[in-house]
């Protein structure tokens, strides 16, 4: 299937590894020109080299921490030079904080908000002018989480903030229509990236078990009895960013092996 993005330009933020990296790879495989961004220059260099090796394409990169307004201002300047007209923006920065309500102080709530919500808002703001210049109409894909659709225990702060991202895409998908920009989100379930391998190692140490035992335990709740692979989640972002999804707007699509099964 031709997704129609050949020759278009995309920016993927949070692309040095995990789901963002696979989203960048998927877009490159569809023939898009892809720019990548995340915090660590070393990780970005390695990711750009791996993407070039896999797809043959040169991948320009820019190091920025989306929790820092100054970094995102510099990203905006760089983007203006690299892609005065941007077709696709994918934001894949975020994560959950495993803690009970009583363990969370204001600083923890604010840090999660900056990481999950404000960072995404800043990146969208930085990319908005170039997205308005897209000839085919801009597309924004935000990675949320399945959590707010079936709030996990011990994750109140990210359940709340990822729910905010669903409200963000549903609002912006309407507000940006005068600019011909579609906005959607992908809500991943448990996916085997460093986010989970690190967590499994920590929980395993606390419980005196092996990390694979922790992954097995958390897989049991998933109807498919396994975690997702990052490329399985990224495939939905590539589709939503493509012209095959030309009438999909303001949606939050679960890709979670069936863990969140609410009727609405
Ligand atoms: N994995 C899951 O089970 C799961 C489940 C639900 C939702 N999600 C969501 O899916 C998205 C991707 O998750 P993932 O598992 O692929 O994450 P990941 O493996 O932890 O990768 C995160 C990426 O974002 C970059 N990053 C982290 N903090 C950043 C910051 N402050 N500024 C800029 N870049 C930053 C990282 O690179 P640097 O370290 O170099 O910055 C890396 O490239 C996130 O929004 C996450 O919440 C994941």
CATH code where residue 249 lies: 3.40.50.720
- Residue 128 is assigned to a structural domain of this protein: yes
Q: Find the domain containing 243 and state its range.
A: 9-191+228-255
The residue whose CA has the least distance to atom 48 of ligand 1 is 188
- Residue 207 is assigned to a structural domain of this protein: no
Please tell me the predicted confidence (pLDDT) of residue 263. 86
* Ligand 1 centre distance from Cα of residue 18 (Å): 7
- Residue 49 is assigned to a structural domain of this protein: yes
Please tell me the predicted confidence (pLDDT) of residue 13. 98
Q: Is 16 close to ligand 1, i.e. is its CB under 6 Å away?
A: yes
Q: Which residues contact 72 (CB under 8 A, 6 or more apart)?
A: 64, 66, 119, 122, 123, 125, 126
- Report percent pLDDT > 70 for the chain: 100
The token pair that represents 234 in the structure block: 């990224």
- Residue 214 is assigned to a structural domain of this protein: no
Phi and psi at 228, nearest 5°, equal -80, 155
- Residue 57 is assigned to a structural domain of this protein: yes
Q: Which residues contact 229 (CB under 8 A, 6 or more apart)?
A: 191, 192
- Residue 157 is assigned to a structural domain of this protein: yes
- Residue 95 is assigned to a structural domain of this protein: yes
Q: Which residues of the chain have pLDDT under 70?
A: none
Q: In a mutational test of the pocket of ligand 1, which residue from 21, 140, 195, 237 has the highest number of ligand atoms less than 8 Å from its CB?
A: 195
For the chain, the domain total comes to: 1
Residues 75 and 37 sit within 8 Å (Cβ to Cβ): yes
- Residue 217 is assigned to a structural domain of this protein: no
Interval 126-169: pLDDT, tens: 999 999 999 999 999 999 999 999 998 999 999 999 999 999 99
């Amino acid at each position: 299937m031709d997704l129609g993005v050949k020759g278009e330009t995309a920016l993927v933020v949070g692309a040095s590894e995990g789901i963002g990296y696979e989203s960048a790879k998927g877009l490159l495989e569809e023939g898009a020109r892809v720019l990548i961004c995340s915090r660590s220059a070393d990780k970005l260099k390695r990711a750009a080299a791996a993407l070039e090796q896999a797809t043959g394409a040169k991948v320009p990169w820019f190091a920025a921490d989306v929790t820092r307004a100054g970094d995102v201002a510099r990203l905006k300047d760089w983007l203006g030079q690299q892609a005065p007209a941007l077709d696709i923006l994918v934001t894949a920065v975020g994560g959950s904080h495993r803690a009970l309500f009583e363990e969370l102080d204001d600083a923890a709530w604010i840090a999660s908000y900056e990481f999950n919500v404000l960072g995404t808002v800043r990146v969208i703001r930085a990319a908005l002018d170039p997205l308005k210049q897209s000839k085919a109409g801009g597309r924004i894909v935000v990675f949320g989480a399945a959590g707010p659709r079936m709030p996990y225990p011990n994750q109140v702060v990210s359940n709340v903030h990822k729910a905010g991202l669903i409200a963000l895409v549903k609002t912006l998908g309407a507000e940006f229509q005068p600019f011909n920009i579609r906005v959607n989100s992908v809500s991943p379930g448990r996916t085997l990236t460093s986010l989970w391998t690190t967590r499994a190692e920590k929980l395993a140490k606390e419980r005196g078990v092996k990390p694979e035992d922790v992954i097995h335990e958390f897989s049991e709740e998933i109807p498919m009895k396994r975690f997702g692979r990052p490329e399985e989640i990224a495939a939905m972002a590539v589709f939503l960013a493509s012209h095959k999804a030309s009438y999909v707007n303001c949606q939050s699509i679960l890709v979670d092996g069936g863990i969140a099964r609410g009727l609405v």
